[in-house]
Structure 1
């Protein structure tokens, strides 16, 4: 694949986005949305802002209607980023947005400002030939992804004026795999109670932290099934935090424990909740406290997995093969926006892009030598879906 001079514009826009920091929970994402909005509107592409329940803009949505009826498809890329971490550990400024030795450098180069720029350019090409295409193409540029709230995707799904997509391709990086599935999740906060008092008192008191420690052992020892059926990964339970107590002289009366349980089709949300509640019931019987242990479920996403002949996985895998790449379909251990979409009955791929280094770490960059073939694969996939 030879370099397409038009792809220089993809790099230029991506660099501009990187130079506008948009760290989740740190930076105002207005500058990065404004840059995208200017690029799109200056080329006559229809776009509008999506807002959350508070009225805060969380995404830009581009919608291009084809000249003939048919299903809509969507491209999705986040334009907010992970934090920088220790900036002194970087060998270049985290907001560099420059090209050195064939690599685009800076936070968001891999995840996922280069993908956002690429998808904007594909939207421009589709817009120019829309009359010959079926259905339509949406491009979602999500500015609320790294918060974990996925505000842009949620606003898109909730927007009554947005055409509902038949499938979504999410622009995470990585040249060797197309992510076609992921484990689901079941998350809960558990409030463990204890009897407060002075740590030096003669009266025996079972503190909340001690009870929480017993609960953690019960959870860690709880049996989980292995791999079963066609899903290639087993469920997994992780205690992610334990907060309680203050100082040394007070027996704590409350300790909060966080539990993250990754689910599978054969061990879903109901099984996850039953396992955790069984451990809580055992705790309250073995080491009674002043009150029942409380389980507050905070998030539930289903697992999902597309078959390789199911769209849009088939379109993307076929396009990669058509460009001479050997790309494997992967089911990911971590969850992604594909799980959120699966809960809405929308199939999604989540990952095909440039090779990268430093994702969420220091010295993030992507190898621009991959850009021509990645562009060609997405172009082939999108146009193929819009011509069916």
Structure 2
């Protein structure tokens, strides 16, 4: 295998059926590539209650600073209806200049490009003057319990520190060079339960329909808006994702109603302050008897999921500039600096060092016939190659001025 060619490195990874949490040979294949480049590999398996064991990989080249981390995951989502695919989802077939396969975009493609970029740098000028590590999990598409978060803590306990990190998630919405992620919105999920009294619909005075109370409580969750956003973040947004009574009969007033919701919030909130605000809104609304004349205040409870994700913003101008310059040189485009999208493992990494995200175009991620243009693989490899050299040069120049 020619490691400087991202089409070859990606094909080797796609052919490993690493549907989360299965390793599928992907980490073994990646470790072999990195060993060839001089990396030392550390394979670690983590376990936890009621979650599957997950294998992870930490590889390092060099033993001095500055230290650049690349982070990502080799696990992929299930293929879905395999019969709907026009190509083998683990075949890495190339058709009309595109490589097909689960993980081509999310995110084996990013890993393959970083490996090839490193191979080119090493081939041309030797290993960077410092250290490069790859922190790769098999748990990003799963519960994210036995992966990046634990691997970071494990390596830190062994004495590892990092100066900056790049996550190779697909960040570009339409074409290479569109967008760098410099932060992420937080995520908080909750469950609202309203209790009523079950009864016959013909005798409503003997019952208490919880859906009347639910309507009154859901409204203030949505309005007024939580905020209007700011320079770096869009407005925080709450979406009700389900309302259910478990009732299959049309002539029965249900005993209770349950609603689930999720909020993607910006840096004006923490999970704690957001939960406090929503509890206050619910308490005020519970006393509004507009839909329940003659009744007591709505009987309700609300619970928030313990595993929330914080919002964060990376403020390391040198890191952001180094990546922005590399993107412009490789693609000719000036990338937007964004905090949009869902969560990623960057939420764990930001506790250890500044982190940014840049990867492939994400249009086909998680879809049937997930695929990536070979030209995009070359563009991303060039971005990473330029970034690696530029970041280490900046670090060296900065050290020389101190």
Q: 1:341 to 1:310 in 2, by over 3 A?
A: farther
Task: Provide Cα deviations, 1:142-198, integer angstroms capped at 9, x if missing partner.
Answer: 211112526421122221126232221111233122122222223222333333456
Decide whether the 8 Å contact of 1:145 with 1:151 is kept in 2. Answer: no
5+ residue gaps, structure 2 = 290-295, 396-402
Verify: 1:117 aligned to 2:117, yes or no: no
**1:12 alignment partner in structure 2:** 8
**2:286 alignment partner in structure 1:** 284
Verify: 1:245 aligned to 2:246, yes or no: yes
Number of matched pairs = 375
Task: Provide Cα deviations, 1:283-315, integer angstroms capped at 9, x if missing partner.
Answer: 4323657854132243433323335x6242222
Give 1:332 shift.
Answer: 3.0
Q: 1:82 to 1:311 in 2, by over 3 A?
A: farther
Verify: 1:336 aligned to 2:336, yes or no: no
**1:373 alignment partner in structure 2:** 379
Q: 1:60 to 1:132 in 2, by over 3 A?
A: closer
Looking at structure 1, the residues matched to 161 and 245 of structure 2 have their Cα atoms a distance apart, in angstroms, of 45
Looking at structure 1, the residues matched to 159 and 247 of structure 2 have their Cα atoms a distance apart, in angstroms, of 50
Task: Provide Cα deviations, 1:304-348, integer angstroms capped at 9, x if missing partner.
Answer: 3335x6242222112223336213133132233265136615321
**2:137 alignment partner in structure 1:** 142
Q: 1:132 to 1:118 in 2, by over 3 A?
A: closer
**1:64 alignment partner in structure 2:** 61
1:218 to 206, 220, 225: 220
Looking at structure 2, the residues matched to 214 and 260 of structure 1 have their Cα atoms a distance apart, in angstroms, of 18
Q: TM-score, normalised by structure 2?
A: 0.81
Verify: 1:296 aligned to 2:296, yes or no: no
**2:327 alignment partner in structure 1:** 320
Give 1:103 shift.
Answer: 1.1
Verify: 1:235 aligned to 2:229, yes or no: no
Verify: 1:385 aligned to 2:391, yes or no: yes
> What is the CA RMSD across the aligned residues, in angstroms?
3.1
Q: 1:292 to 1:209 in 2, by over 3 A?
A: closer
5+ residue gaps, structure 1 = none
Q: TM-score, normalised by structure 1?
A: 0.83
Decide whether the 8 Å contact of 2:70 with 2:168 is kept in 1. Answer: yes
Looking at structure 1, the residues matched to 16 and 183 of structure 2 have their Cα atoms a distance apart, in angstroms, of 32
